[in-house]
C-alpha cells in the first residue's frame, strides 16, 4: 500500500476484493497528504469488519465517492472530515447474525453529508426510525434505503428534497400515509419504489404529479381496487410493479399504451381480460408477470413476435 504515497496525482482508486484489512491502511501505511487529489475510492469486499475508519480516510478532503460495503455503521465512522463527499455506498453489509440490528446516528457531526448526492444503504439490517438528517441533506439526488428494517413514518420534510431523482424505501417496516403533499415538490423524481412496506398510498384521483417517472414500484401498497388515475400522466415509464394490490377489472388502455414499458408486474390481483390484448399492445416487453389473476383466453400466436420477451408468467394458482 505504501506505493500509493508516490502517486500524488491519483484521482480514482479501485481496491475492491483485494483482501485488505485495517492494518493495510492504518499505522502510517498510507499518508493522506499524498492522496490529496483522490476523488473516488472503492474498498468494497475487503476485511474491515466494523473497525473505525482510519484517520487516513477521514482526512481525504477531496474525496467525492466512497464505496465500502462493510459493517462500519458506528458513530466513529461519521466523524470524518469528508466535507466534499458526494457518493457514499455502504450497501449489502454482511453482519453475519441478521438478528444484530444497527441504527443510523441521530445526527451527523461536522460537515459530513453537506455535499452528499447519492446515499446507498440497501440490503442491510438497519433498524430504527429514519433520522431527520436524511431529509435535511442539502443536495440529495439518489436515496437507496431499501431492504432494511426502518420503521415509522417517512419524515414530512421529504418534500423539501426538490432535486431528488431516486427514492427507494421498499422492503422496510415503514408506515404512515404517502400523499401528494409529500411528493408534490419532487419535480425531478424518476424512480419511486415503496413496495412491501406498510405505507398507505392516498393520492387525489385528480392529482397531476410534477414529475415523469421511469420506474414505479408500488407492490403490496393497498392501492386497489381501482388503478391509480394519476399513473395516466406518466409517459416515460419503463418499469411498473403494481402486484398484490387487490386491483380488479380489465387492464386500463392507458397502461397498454405505455409504449416504453419493458417490465410490467401485475401479479396477485383480480385483473380480467384477454391475454392476446395485452401481448399485442406491448411488443417491446421483456418481463411480463400476470400470474394469479383472472386473465383468460388462449396463448396468442403474436407471442412469437415478441423479440425481447425474457420472462412470461400468467399461471393461475
User: How does residue 68 score in pLDDT terms, banded at 50, 70 and 90?
Assistant: low
**Inter-residue contact 186 to 162 (CB < 8 Å):** yes
User: How does residue 29 score in pLDDT terms, banded at 50, 70 and 90?
Assistant: low
d(CA 21, CA 274): 58
Is the pLDDT at 95 greater than 50? The verdict is: no
Domain 82-313 has CATH 3.80.10.10: yes
Q: Which residue has the higher pLDDT, 278 or 9?
A: 278
Report residue 72 as a C-alpha cell: 462500519
Q: Which residue has the higher pLDDT, 166 or 99?
A: 166
Its sign, for the CA torsion 129, 70, 39, 28, is positive
Could you tell me which of 165, 217, 170 has the C-alpha nearest to residue 187?
165
Rounded mean pLDDT, 271-300: 89
Rounded mean pLDDT, 88-113: 64
What's the distance, Cα to Cα, between the start and end of the chain in Å? 57
Domain range list for the chain: 1-81, 82-313
**Inter-residue contact 300 to 276 (CB < 8 Å):** yes
Its sign, for the CA torsion 229, 230, 235, 238, is negative
Strands (E), 80-225: 87-89, 102-103, 118-120, 126-129, 142-144, 149-152, 166-168, 173-178, 191-193, 198-201, 215-217
Write down the H helix ranges in the chain. 55-58, 132-136, 180-183, 253-256, 275-281
d(CA 317, CA 290): 12
The SS3 assignment for 114 reads: coil
The SS3 assignment for 213 reads: coil
Amino acid at each position: 500500500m505504501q506505493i500509493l504515497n508516490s502517486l500524488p496525482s491519483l484521482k480514482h482508486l479501485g481496491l475492491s476484493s483485494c483482501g485488505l484489512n485495517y492494518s493495510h491502511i492504518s499505522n502510517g501505511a498510507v499518508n493522506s497528504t499524498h492522496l490529496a487529489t483522490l476523488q473516488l475510492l472503492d474498498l468494497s469486499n475487503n476485511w474491515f469488519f466494523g473497525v473505525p475508519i482510519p484517520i487516513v480516510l477521514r482526512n481525504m478532503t477531496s474525496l467525492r465517492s466512497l464505496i465500502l460495503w462493510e459493517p462500519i455503521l458506528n458513530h466513529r465512522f461519521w466523524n470524518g472530515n469528508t466535507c466534499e463527499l458526494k457518493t457514499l455506498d455502504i450497501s449489502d453489509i454482511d453482519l453475519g447474525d441478521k438478528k444484530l440490528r444497527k441504527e443510523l446516528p441521530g445526527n451527523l457531526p461536522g460537515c459530513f453529508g453537506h455535499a452528499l448526492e447519492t446515499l446507498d444503504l440497501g440490503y442491510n439490517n438497519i433498524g430504527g426510525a429514519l433520522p431527520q438528517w436524511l431529509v435535511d441533506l442539502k443536495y440529495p439526488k439518489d436515496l437507496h434505503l431499501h431492504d432494511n428494517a426502518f420503521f415509522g413514518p417517512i419524515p414530512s420534510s421529504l418534500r423539501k428534497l426538490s432535486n431528488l431523482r431516486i427514492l427507494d424505501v421498499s422492503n422496510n417496516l415503514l408506515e404512515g400515509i404517502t400523499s401528494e403533499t409529500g411528493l408534490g415538490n419532487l419535480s425531478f423524481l424518476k424512480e419511486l419504489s415503496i413496495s412491501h412496506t406498510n405505507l398507505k398510498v392516498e393520492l387525489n384521483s385528480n392529482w397531476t404529479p410534477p414529475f415523469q417517472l421511469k420506474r414505479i414500484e408500488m407492490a403490496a401498497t393497498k392501492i386497489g381496487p381501482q388503478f391509480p388515475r394519476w399513473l395516466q400522466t406518466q409517459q416515460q415509464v419503463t418499469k411498473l410493479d403494481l402486484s398484490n394490490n387487490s386491483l380488479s377489472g380489465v387492464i386500463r388502455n392507458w397502461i397498454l399504451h405505455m409504449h416504453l414499458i419493458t417490465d410490467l408486474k401485475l401479479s396477485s390481483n383480480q385483473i380480467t381480460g384477454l391475454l392476446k390484448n395485452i401481448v399485442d399492445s406491448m411488443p417491446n416487453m421483456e418481463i411480463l408477470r400476470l400470474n394469479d389473476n383472472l386473465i383468460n383466453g388462449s396463448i396468442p400466436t403474436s407471442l412469437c413476435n415478441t423479440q425481447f420477451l425474457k420472462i412470461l408468467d400468467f399461471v393461475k394458482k
